[in-house]
Amino acid sequence: MIDKHSRKISYLRVSVTDLCNLRCVYCMPAGGSVLSSKEEILSLEEILKLIKHGVSLGVNKIRITGGEPLVRKGITSLIRRISEISGINDIALTTNGVYLKEYAAVLKKSGLSRLNISLDTMREDRFAEITRGGNIADVFDGVEAVLKAGFRGTKMNAVIMRGDNDDEIHDFVKYIMERDIELRFIELMASGWKDMVDEDRFMPTSEIMERVLEVGELVPDKQRVGGGPATIYRIKGALGSIGFISAVSKPFCKTCNRLRLTSDGKLRSCLLSGGDVDIKSILRSSNLGEKEMQDKLTEAFIRATDMKPVVHSGRNSAVMNQIGG
């Protein structure tokens, strides 16, 4: 699939649930979001069928996200079945890390390639505040379990918010000095839930980088140039590396190669702008023969690809727990 701006689409991000065990202040309302009913959410078989269809059209990389993907029943068997699809060479999962202590080894066995763990603070009290009740020890234990299980290329995503956690930038860097983890500083984005993200808390990559430079010199990692939206650097003496994702101040749309499948069955062209296609209604239409269904699914993938904007309009916002961030 090639979009109207000559970008080749090979990456599908799949949100398997809108449920979450945490309530991060920038992502979900305190009382939780209005959740889709069980019937509205795609079944594992439906997800698998859509992934296979995507692969037949050129998708070779999958990311599983949510909500919190590890709360979805059957998640490890879904991953195993995805890993058996010929043509897929990378399956990653984004998680808040709370359940990794129990899941890391089985995820490895299931064929998962890589993990992104979201962690916005190194402090117990702050973690409880940002996530509205989480226990940071679970995440630290989860990170160690992932390293012990033998995963390579583990990433840690930290959203930096002025006045909330920007005083911890040095602590994050120290954390990866002795751990083989790619720490990625992420700019805060507007949330689709109204009034949850206040603009004063936004901190651009340029400022975050200045703080990192106080710890040590950053050297661009030549082997990693062009590998996804982050610019990756090495810092002297560190086992880990550091990346910056500037989705707001410097959108990486030019190299965007992805489509998103939401948990309620929409194929979305872009996280922040563009449109979406209701692919679930095609999957569930009982009056289509197999060939007709395959043709309609192909048409849906192509329509979503064609909707991809050349660049997102940064002021828009997304309901992250539904789309998957």
Q: Return residues touching ligand SF4 (CB under 6 A).
A: 20, 22-24, 27-28, 66-68, 96, 118, 320-321
Contact 301, 258 (CB under 8 A): no
* Binding partner of residue 159 among ligand SF4, ligand SAM, none, CB cut-off 5 to 8 Å per kind: ligand SAM
63 annotated as belonging to a binding site for a ligand: yes
Site for ligand SAM in 80-99 (CB under 6 A): 94-96
In the list 130, 181, 188, 270, the residue contacting ligand SAM (rule: CB under 6 A) is 188
User: What is the nearest approach in angstroms of ligand SF4 to the Cβ of residue 141?
Assistant: 16
Min dist. Cβ of residue 194 to ligand SAM (A) = 12
In angstroms, the CA 322 to CA 314 distance is 19
Amino acid identity for residue 146 in this structure? V
CA–CA distance, 264 with 147 (Å, rounded to integer): 33
Task: Please name which of 271, 278, 276, 277 lies closest in space to residue 311, comparing C-alpha atoms.
Answer: 271
Q: Is the backbone of residue 284 left (phi > 0), alpha (psi -120 to 50) or beta?
A: alpha
d(CA 267, CA 276): 5
Question: Quick check: 243 binds ligand SAM (CB under 6 A)?
Answer: no
Whole-Å CA distances, 313 to 191, 276, 319, 321: 14, 16, 15, 20
Minimum separation from the CB atom of position 12 to ligand SAM (A): 15
Least distance in angstroms from the C-beta of 21 to ligand SF4: 7
Confirm or deny that 26 is annotated as ligand binding.
yes
Residue 257 interacting with ligand SAM (CB under 6 A): no
Residue whose CB is less far from ligand SF4, 54 or 67:
67
Residue 23 binds: one of ligand SF4, ligand SAM, none (C-beta under 5 to 8 A by kind): ligand SF4
What backbone torsions phi and psi does residue 243 show, to the nearest 5 degrees?
-125, 160
CA–CA distance, 118 with 183 (Å, rounded to integer): 10
The token duo for 237 is 């003496």
Alpha-carbon distance of 257 to 276, in angstroms, equals 16
Min CB(94)–ligand SAM separation in Å: 4
Between 189 and 238, name the residue whose CB sits nearer to ligand SAM: 189
- The enclosing H or E element of 65 equals strand 61-65
Check the annotation: does 313 bind a ligand.
no
Applying CB under 6 A, the residues found at the interface with ligand SAM are: 20, 26-27, 65-66, 68, 94-96, 118, 157, 159, 186, 188-189, 191, 197, 320-321, 324-325
